[in-house]
Every structure is written in C-alpha cells, then in structure tokens.
Amino acid sequence: MTTSKTNDIEAKVKAIVVEQLDVRDEDVTPSKTFTEDLGADSLAIVELVLAFEEAFGLKIPDNEVDNIKTVGNAIDYIKKNATGAKSATGAN
Amino acid sequence: MGVLSPLGIGVDENWRRLCAGESGIGPITRFDVAEYPTKIAGEVRGFEATNWIAKKEIRQMDLFIQYGIAGAALAVADAGLDQSPVADPERFGVFVGAGLGGLSTLESTIAALKEKGPRHGISPYFVPAIIVNLAAGQISIRHGAKGPNLSHVSACSTGAHSIGEAFRTIVHGTADVMIAGGTESTVTPLGIGGFCSSRALSTRNDEPTRASRPFSASRDGFVLSEGCGILVLEELGHARARGAKIHAEIVGYGLSADAYHITLPPPGGEGAQRCMKMALRDAGIAPEQVGYINAHGTSTIADVTETQAIRAVFGGHAERVAVSSTKSMHGHLLGAAGGLEAAISVLALKHGILPPTINLDDPDPACDLDYVPHVARATQVEYAMSNSFGFGGTNAALIFRRAEF
C-alpha cells in the first residue's frame, strides 16, 4: 500500500467519525476511544462499523468489532484488511 | 402547553390563526402524489429539528418523535419547569402516544433493506426510531421525568386518552406533574395511501383550504395532518405552591368503546354518548354547565353521528351549547388531534373566545347545532368539553374548567 493510499484511509476514517458521531475534526486523533472520548454508545458503534464497511467495501466481524476501541484501531484494521481482502480475492 | 400543527409552531401562532379562521391545509410536498387520489394535507412548515435535538440524534428518531420532543419542550417551558425543575423526579411522568408511529422511517428502511440487504439496509436505530413509546421515552430522558411513562395507542383518540390517563394518574396520587398528549407524522405514502384506500380522505385537491368542512353537506372526507399537542398537567396544590401559570383546570374524563365496528360509529353514536356522560359524571357537573364543545368533527359521515350523540347527552341544552370543529382549520392530526384540541379548548376558556368551524357554507340538514360558523366568537364559558373518537370504536372525552384568577 502506498503512503497516499494510507493517508486516504486515515482521512476517510476521520471524516466518517466526524459525520457519524458529530464531533469536531481536531478531536479525532488515533488515540481517542470511541466510547469514552468521542461519546459513542453501543448503537453508535454499530452504525460506525457499518459506515466503515460501506466506505471501504469490507465486512468487519462482530468479534473484531470488540477490538476496535480507538480511531487508531479502526485505521489499522481497515489498512490491514482492505488490502488483505483485495490480495486474497484478487478483486479490484 | 406545546403544539405543532399545520397552523404553526407554538401556542401563540396556532391561536392567532384559529381566531382568524385560517386554514393550514395545502398541497403535499413530502413525496410525489401523482398516483394518489388525495394530493393535499396539513404539513407542519418551518420545523427545524436542530432547534430541539442534537444533530447526531436526529437520524435516530422518526419525525413523530422529533415533533413530540419539540412540543414537550415548549410545554415544559410554558409551565416554567425549565426554570424550576420538579422537586421529586419520581413523581414526574410522561404519557405521550401516537396513533401509528414511525411510518416514514419504516418506509425508507424497507426500501433500503431491498436495496442493500439486512446488514447495511437496517440502521441499529431502526427499532427505537419507529416504536410509539420512544416519544414518551425520549421526552423523559430530556426532562429527567422518572415517574410513570407510557404511550397509549388509540388511533384518533390517543392524545385525549393520554391526557385523561395522566389526569387520573395525578388524581390517584401516583404523580405530581405529567407531560401528556399525542404526536403524529404520517404524511407519507403509506399514511396518505392507507386512508385513500379506505376512502376516508377528501379529494378536494383544487381548493385545499376549503377541503376540511365538518358538518357541511358537501364534505367528502377528512384531511390528514401532522404535528403534536402536549400539555403539562399538575396537581393543583403543587402548581400553586411553586407559583405556576395555570391555564385551566382539567376536571373530567370519560372513555368508552363502541363494541360495534372497526371504523364506523354505531347508530346515534351510542358509545360516544356514554363517553361524554362519563366525563360529565367525573366532573360532577350538569350538561347545562358546558358552554363549548370542541367536536371530533372530522368532515366525514360521522359528523352526523356526533351531532346525534351531543343531542342525546345534552337534551335541550344542545340548542344552546357552542360546538366547533377546529379540524376545519388544522385538519386531522390522528393521534395528536386530541392533544391539540385539548390545548385549543383550554385556550378558548382562558381567552373567552370560541374558535370557529370554517368552510360551513352549506350545513348538512342532519347537522343542526350551533357550530360557530366561519368566525370566532367572544364568549366566556366556564366548562369546555373536547371529544375524540378513534378507529376500533374507542372514545375519549375531556372536560376543562376555566381557571379562577
């Protein structure tokens, strides 16, 4: 994955978090937790995960969702699995 | 009191237009009505949800809940409870219902389900967005009302039943303060289409402001509207102790079933008669003491039945009591109708003005009461009754007394 693609993913994740959780752009940094820091409840997390899935064309299993607690966790997971999915299937 | 209707947002705008005899009915703007026989409705105009609800929460709830939140906020502010919160939150309750619930969210979700499948087509907020009791739930969360919390569902009687049941809850000693009423938003393909299908709606599409014409010989069905009507009820001693502004006193509540037909009233409005009589007994007053009736009067065949029921209950006094259907102006708010019309009855007592029945150019010969035609009338009355009758044959009547100042 190129650096520009990596940056694209980070920017896209941040934009989704800002939109979904109605928080300020500057508050969305990798170390921030969705629940404590950004005010998401369990339903908001579900909605956020679905938005990531739609935006990046992947499926995040429920047991993985439990490990995505921070913005950084989400970025890392998407970077890994978006590319992984592509190389595994050869699609797109 | 807090109201949203096709006549406006808030009590002042609604009352001004009711006294002026204005209609709030117009062409439907929410969806393409080309294939629908009815193309008019009473839509709430100029509603900005962000004035009442955080942006991220708006998509978590259907429009009927948003209206309920706004109406409750207006009512709570009017009662001064935003400045002086209820001392014991466990004795502060919410009874706000709806007739149908979140139709527009249901429709858009079904469309998304077909397009995207269950994982991405259905929001995690879908259920709390559409279920009726989230109106009462959301209001309780916002105002810290930890007491009784229910959403009664009784079609077009919902608002009146909610207020009547809240009245009883206070009389019974379970609560000191109740937020009560109804909210509704069904100007949607299913809402309009459903009532079109049952041939219940006016099709006078070329003259929307003249379409709702209760008690008129040329009436051709009701006009569907949306909004909410929400009151704060409070135990009298509790209200006086905190120096609350008292608009009127609720003194009587009746409820009954026709046990007859799913949509049609029984001959003579027998169920409505028993309902009105029960409310009079509950208030401990004689029929002659009622000076104004805000009729259910939907601009359908049932206007005759309600007229007959009023004659049967009020006897000779039926010749003198003023009866108006304000639905001629705001249309039929379904589950919110009883809430809005209770508020209007209270305003009539408070201001000594009886709002008119507009569009009554050609009265049905079978509708032969004093319907306060065309223009509002300055008359001070002591007691006002508000009638609501719903599908399923479920009836409610409320009686209010003018507050002594």
Q: Give pLDDT, residue A88.
A: 39
Q: Note whether A20 contacts B56, CB cutoff 8 Å.
A: yes
Q: Which of B200, B180, B227 is nearest to B334 (CA)?
A: B227
**Residue B196 known to be catalytic:** no
> In this predicted model, what pLDDT tens digit does every residue of B253-291 receive, in sequence order?
999 999 999 999 999 999 999 999 999 999 999 999 999
Three-state DSSP state, B258: coil
Mean pLDDT of chain A: 88
Please count the helices (runs of H) and the strands (runs of E) in chain A: 4, 0
> In this predicted model, what pLDDT tens digit does every residue of A29-70 receive, in sequence order?
999 999 999 999 999 999 999 999 999 999 999 999 999 999
Phi, psi of B321 (to 5 degrees): -70, 135
Q: Give pLDDT, residue A83.
A: 61
Mean pLDDT of chain B: 97
The DSSP line for B334-388 is GGGHHHHHHHHHHHHHHHTEEPPB-S-SSB-TT--SB--BSS-EE---SEEEEEE
CATH superfamily, domain at A3-81:
ACP-like (1.10.1200.10)
Token pair in block for residue B249: 């006193």
Token pair in block for residue B381: 């009355």
Q: Give pLDDT, residue A2.
A: 64
Rounded to a whole number of angstroms, the distance from the CA of B108 to the nearest CA of chain A is 17
Q: Which of B249, B311, B320 is nearest to B289 (CA)?
A: B320
Q: Note whether B55 contacts A22, CB cutoff 8 Å.
A: yes
Which of A21, A47, A54 is closest, CB to CB, to B124? A47
What is the pLDDT averaged over residues B175-182? 98
β-strands B377-378, B177-184 pairing: unpaired
Rounded to a whole number of angstroms, the distance from the CA of A1 to the nearest CA of chain B is 27
Q: Give pLDDT, residue A86.
A: 42
Which of B54, B56, B124 is closest, CB to CB, to A46? B124
Rounded to a whole number of angstroms, the distance from the CA of B59 to the nearest CA of chain A is 10
Query: Tell me, what's the ipTM?
Result: 0.81
* Position A85 pLDDT exceeds 60: no
Q: How far apart are CA B367 and CA B294, in angstroms?
A: 15
> In this predicted model, what pLDDT tens digit does every residue of B203-253 receive, in sequence order?
999 999 999 999 999 999 999 999 999 999 999 999 999 999 999 999 999
**Residue B156 known to be catalytic:** yes
Domain boundaries, chain A: 3-81
Kindly give, in sequence order, each residue whose CB lies less than 8 Å from that of residue A38, ignoring residues fewer than 6 positions away: A17, A21, A23, A27, A28, A32, A71
